[in-house]
């Protein structure tokens, strides 16, 4: 069935195309309910499996990337409901299984689960209108989709504590200075800039892209020595790929490489 809360599109093609996933629940500022998160997980898995796709972009509207988990739904939850239903974990963790790069193109509000969803992506490109925050504390809860873990890794403990404890929202410039955001661009060019970044990824040999993403993620999840050892094995494995032969031969012959993703 076609998704009700997402717009799906395929753009670019350089030579691998980009899967665009636009969160589309405008009446609720893209509040992330179960139906939307199920559809998002399915769309991500489909793009990850699609041989013609090299990169995925998740975006929202000009007004909101996403204003968080759906408060209307959460209002009625009990502790038993949340725990027994494994609230959030069931369908919010799919994105962690995605091996291709995922870019978040963020304009407007990225609050609570919206900020957390952006942080689950591999990099954030922000419009100058973007606002990031973890205002859950005002609702009597805490960030529940990784915010207390990913935010300090992205912006450091001091700013993470500030945002999580006081509910202060930060603008795009502060977010870029703090390291939450990879690129800050004018709102009018957000989608173009995201497509350019996706094309830059789509031009690269896919096997190396998958290994590179996997290795950078290790930097957040384990001790340095293990990360270095993991990286070194992946680095060695690249010499078994046809694209390594092609990439280096093309460089030496001063011609453009033609990658086959093998």
Nearest to 96 by CA among 121, 118, 114: 121
Q: Which one, 111 or 209, has the nearer CB to ligand CAA?
A: 111
Q: Which one, 87 or 259, has the nearer CB to ligand CAA?
A: 87
Distance CA 34, CA 15 (A): 34
Count of residues making up the chain? 262
Distance CA 197, CA 193 (A): 6
Q: Coil, strand or helix: which one is 260? A: coil
Q: How far is the CB of 21 from ligand CAA (least distance, A)?
A: 18
Q: Which backbone phi and psi does 259 adopt, to 5 degrees?
A: -85, 145
Q: How far is the CB of 170 from ligand CAA (least distance, A)?
A: 14
Interface contacts to ligand CAA, rule CB under 6 A: 28-29, 31, 67-72, 88, 109, 111-113, 116, 135-136, 139, 143-145, 147
Distance CA 8, CA 253 (A): 40
Using alpha carbons only, give the angle 126, 183, 155 rounded to the nearest 5 degrees: 85
Q: Which one, 14 or 110, has the nearer CB to ligand CAA?
A: 110
Q: How far is the CB of 250 from ligand CAA (least distance, A)?
A: 46
Q: How far is the CB of 84 from ligand CAA (least distance, A)?
A: 17
Q: Which one, 25 or 100, has the nearer CB to ligand CAA?
A: 25
Per the CB < 8 A criterion, the answer to whether 198 and 12 are in contact is yes
Per the CB < 8 A criterion, the answer to whether 21 and 6 are in contact is yes
- Please list the active-site residues: 69, 113, 116, 136
């Amino acid at each position: 069935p076609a998704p009700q809360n997402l717009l799906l599109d395929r753009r670019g093609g350089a030579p691998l195309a980009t899967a665009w996933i636009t969160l589309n629940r405008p009446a609720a500022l893209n509040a992330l309910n179960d139906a939307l998160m199920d559809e998002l997980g399915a769309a991500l898995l489909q793009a990850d499996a699609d041989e013609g796709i090299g990169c995925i972009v998740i975006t929202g509207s000009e007004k909101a990337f996403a204003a968080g988990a759906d408060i209307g739904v959460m209002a009625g939850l009990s502790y038993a409901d949340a725990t027994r239903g494994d609230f959030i974990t069931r369908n919010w963790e799919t994105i962690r299984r995605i091996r291709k790069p995922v870019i978040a193109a963020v304009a407007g509000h990225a609050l609570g689960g919206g900020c957390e969803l952006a942080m689950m992506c591999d990099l954030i490109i922000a419009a100058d209108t973007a606002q990031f925050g973890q205002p859950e504390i005002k609702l009597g809860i805490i960030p529940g989709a990784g915010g207390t873990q990913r935010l300090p890794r992205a912006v450091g403990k001091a700013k993470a504590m500030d945002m999580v404890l006081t509910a202060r929202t930060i603008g795009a410039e502060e977010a870029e200075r703090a390291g939450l955001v990879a690129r800050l661009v004018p709102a009018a060019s957000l989608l173009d800039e995201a497509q350019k970044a996706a094309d830059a990824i789509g031009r690269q040999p896919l096997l190396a892209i998958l290994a590179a993403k996997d290795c950078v993620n290790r930097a957040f999840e384990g001790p340095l020595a293990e990360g270095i050892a993991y990286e070194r094995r992946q680095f060695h494995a690249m010499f078994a790929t046809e694209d390594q032969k092609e990439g280096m031969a093309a460089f030496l012959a001063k011609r453009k490489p033609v990658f086959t993703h093998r």
